[in-house]
Amino acid sequence: MTILEVSEVLKAEVLVKGEGCQKAIRHVVASDLMSDVLLVDEDDMLLLTSLSSDQVLRTAQIVGAVGVIVVNGKPLPSSMVNVAHDLRMTLATSPFSKYDACVAVYEALKLK
C-alpha cells in the first residue's frame, strides 16, 4: 500500500507528493521524537507524527522514509510545505489521532 492510499484511509489531505509516493510501505513509525525515528533501520517506512516541524521532514529524509503524515488535524506551517518540496518528500495531514491512525493503517495494511 502506498502513502497516497494510506492517506485516503486516514482521510488525510496530501499537501506535497514526493518521490516515494508510489512506493509500497513496508514499515510504519509512530513517534514524535526525532532520535527515536533515527533509530529505525527499515526501508520504505511511513512516519506518523503529531509534530509539525521542519525537522520531521529532515529526519524523514535522513532515514529514507517514503513520507510523513501529521496527525491530529494540525494546520501545517508553510515552511514545512516548502521543506517537503525541497526534499521531495510526501507530506499529508490527517484529522485522526495518532492512536486511531495506527489502528486504521494496521487494518488497511492487513487487508492488502
Partner 1 sequence: MTLQQVMDTCGIEGVFVPDAQAAVTAAYTSDLLSDVMAHCPDGAVLITVQNHKNTVAVCTLVGAPAILVVHNREIPAEMSDVARREGVALLRTADDQFAASCKIAAALAKNS
Partner 2 sequence: MSDAIQKATDAATGNEPLVLLELIQRLKVRDVMTSKLVTVSRSDTMHAVQELMRQMKISGVPVEENGRFFGLVSIDDIIRALGGGYINDACSKHMTTKLVVLEDDMPLSFALRYFDRYRYGRFPVLNRDQHLVGIICQRDINRALLVELTNELNRIESVSSHMPGADMAYSIYVLREFPICKYDFENAGKAANQIKQVLQEKKFPPKVIRRIAVAAYELEINLCVHSDGGVLSWQISNGRAEIIARDAGPGIEDVEWACRDGTSTANEWIRSLGFGAGMGLANVKRVSDEFEITSKKGSGTTVKSVINIAAPELSVS
Q: Which residues are near partner 1 by CB under 8 A?
A: 28-33, 36, 40, 48, 50-51, 72, 97-99, 102-103, 105-106
List of residues 6+ apart from 27 with CB closer than 8 A = 40, 42, 43, 44, 45, 46
Q: How far is CA 82 from CA 17, 57, 70, 87, 97, in A?
A: 12, 10, 15, 9, 24
| Least CB distance to partner 2 at residue 72 (A) | 14
48, interface contact from partner 1, partner 2, none, CB < 5-8 Å by kind: partner 1
| Least CB distance to partner 1 at residue 101 (A) | 9
Q: Which residue has the cell 521543506?
A: 83
| Least CB distance to partner 2 at residue 62 (A) | 5
Three-state secondary structure call for residue 48: strand
- Contact map string, positions 48 to 77, toward partner 2, x by CB under 8 A: ---x-xxxx-xx-xxxx-------------
